[in-house]
A = this chain, B = another copy of it.
Amino acid sequence: MSDDRLKHYRESIDNIDAALVFMLAERFKITQAVGRYKAETGLPAADPGREVRQIERLRALANDANLDADFTEKFLRFIIEEVIRHHEGMQTG
């Protein structure tokens, strides 16, 4: 690609994507620790009230950031589904 302006944009997108990947890796480290801790202490795995509060908070943050709130909610649900998949793996593996 010889277009300098496009190259410049794409470098920024690639930087952000790398940051997102490492941020997600850190997030899953914490949710895995939460899963272990809940299993050890006998706390229930699911907490529907917590999820509702997370979604409300992220929708408000999305508005601040001029990001589509519905997309942001879908994004959080997408990540939470992966967290549940991890926890199921912990129980069976």
Q: Which A residues lie at the B interface, using CB under 8 A?
A: 1, 3, 5-6, 9-10, 12-14, 16-28, 30-31, 33-34, 37-38, 41, 43, 50, 54, 57-58, 61-62, 65-68, 71-72, 75-76, 78, 82
Identity of the chain B residue whose Cβ is nearest the Cβ of A20 in the assembled complex: B23
Taking a contact as CB atoms under 8 Å apart, the answer to whether B23 and A16 are in contact is yes
Give 3 nearest A-B pairs by CB, closest first: A25-B65, A25-B67, A16-B27
Tell me the number of copies of this protein.
Answer: 2
Taking a contact as CB atoms under 8 Å apart, the answer to whether A75 and B24 are in contact is yes
Q: Could you tell me the distance between the alpha carbons of A70 and B25 in the complex, rounded to whole angstroms?
A: 13
Q: Could you tell me the distance between the alpha carbons of A12 and B6 in the complex, rounded to whole angstroms?
A: 35
